[in-house]
Amino acid sequence: METPTASLQLKPGRDKPVHNRHPWVFSGAVGRLHGDPQPGDLITITDERDNPLATATFNPRSQIVARILSWDPAEPIDDAFWGRRLERAIAARAALGLSSDAGAALVSPAPRLPGSPVPASPTTAYRLVNAEADGLPGLIVDRYGDHLVMQCLTLGIDRRKAMLTAQLAELLRPAGILERSDVDVRGKEGLRLLIEPRHGQPPPPEMTIHENGHAFLVDVWRGHKTGFYLDQRDNRAAVGRPALLAGREVLNVFAYTGAFGVYAAAAGAARITQVDSSAPALEVAERNMALNGFDRPDDELIAGDAFEVLRYYRETGRQFDVVVLDPPKFAHSQGQVERACRGYKDLNWLALRLLRPGGLLATFSCSGLVSADLFQKVVFGAAVDAGRDVQILQHLGQAADHPVLLSFPESAYLKGLLGRVW
């Protein structure tokens, strides 16, 4: 069992976030540090009168100097504590209908006619642990078939990753566990970037996963995030309905490996144009179509800058029935939010100008610093400037295996709108 090596006393009036169960303590809230803790140690968080409030991991190298593990200062932080948190997260995914059993067989789906119902099939790739939202600050664990991919984003988790790896191996018995700690945020924690196998067999260079009856090729070693945009699963299903897409001409922008495109093909879209800056990603998108039994010679794959491609389509009078915008994070810091909003506005203005009356716009932002309200205001501004009326049909967000902690609004990073455009 670990015990706190020091106590961190908050400044007067700076204890409200802790009482509200926000898991971060910023350096500006620190009054005094009692003791000599080492980076990564457990510490006790106290109010200005030294009343214990919580137990946290400590990192003086980070602007987030403490990350709270328990709001009960008396709760032991031992192996059993970490095990309970992991078990709770895994059980929560099982309750969503996502199996926590590793080693599920992967069977390629049979070709199907456009517009036919999606057959029942297991979803074999999803998030098992979502960091602070699962009470494990800085730990991400994603399942891809019979392999797990983990990210250790904070010093507190990094120091304990051997124990956490052993517990994951015991609980889930995967074929292997890969650490993909190649995220820039580690630099703010004083940690180097790394990609290393941690347990069992290393995953293959490419694997096949299933999602809602569709199959996708994934590279968990070098692919975006941990290999795939798992957080968009529910949105792909919401947008990719035959009632919305059958017989429609679809533009998928920032397509990556074409997941939205596969859903569109399955829904009976008449023609699909997929745009991404990466030609290799689009090659995988083409292979994903074939993997799902689709032969679509009239579809287009465009490797290029999304803004330039959209401007070209506007200048040439090209129009579509459906546009999907899923750009990368535009804002990495508070100072970049204003510039990010200008980018989102320009992008959505271009998309709105390309849509036929009655067309659909599915637009997203994965910038956590851009709130859902702010994003909606940005899209509203784009609609006004484009001279288009937009009816919001559905607010979109991250999949249910990426839960949002009510006391931690920062965990609500993915937001989107599905709108009809006139």
Report the candidate in 178, 105, 106, 182 with the shortest Cα–Cα distance to residue 148: 178
The tens place of each residue's pLDDT in the chain, 422 residues long, gives 899 999 999 999 999 999 999 999 999 999 999 999 999 999 999 999 999 999 999 999 999 999 999 999 999 999 999 999 999 999 999 999 986 454 333 233 334 444 444 444 579 999 999 999 999 999 999 999 999 999 999 999 999 999 999 999 999 999 999 999 999 999 999 999 999 999 999 999 999 999 999 999 999 999 999 999 999 999 999 999 999 999 999 999 999 999 999 999 999 999 999 999 999 999 999 999 999 999 999 999 999 999 999 999 999 999 999 999 999 888 778 888 898 899 999 999 999 999 999 999 999 999 889 999 999 999 999 999 999 999 999 999 999 999 999 999 999 999 999 999 99
For the full predicted model, state whether its pTM sits above 0.85. Answer: yes
174, containing H or E segment: none
Domains and CATH numbers, the chain: 6-70 (2.30.130.10), 79-207 (3.30.750.80), 229-421 (3.40.50.150)
**How many residues comprise the chain?**
422
| Catalytic residue chosen out of the listed positions 366, 379, 383, 390 | 366
The per-residue pLDDT for 99 is 63
Judge whether 152 counts as a catalytic residue: no
Here the tokens at position 410 are: 């920062």
The per-residue pLDDT for 113 is 42
Nearest-10 crossing angle of helices 337-354, 306-316: 30
What residues contact 222, with CB distance under 8 A and at least 6 apart?
none
Here the tokens at position 242 are: 């035959």
The per-residue pLDDT for 119 is 41
- Give the Cα separation of 246 and 234 in Å (integer): 19
- Can you spell out the DSSP letters for 3-70? --SEEEEEPTT--HHHHTT-SEEEGGGEEEEEE-PPTT-EEEEE-TT--EEEEEEE-TTSSEEEEEEE
What is the edge-to-edge ordering of all strands in the sheet holding 415-421? 300-303, 271-276, 249-253, 320-325, 355-365, 415-421, 390-397
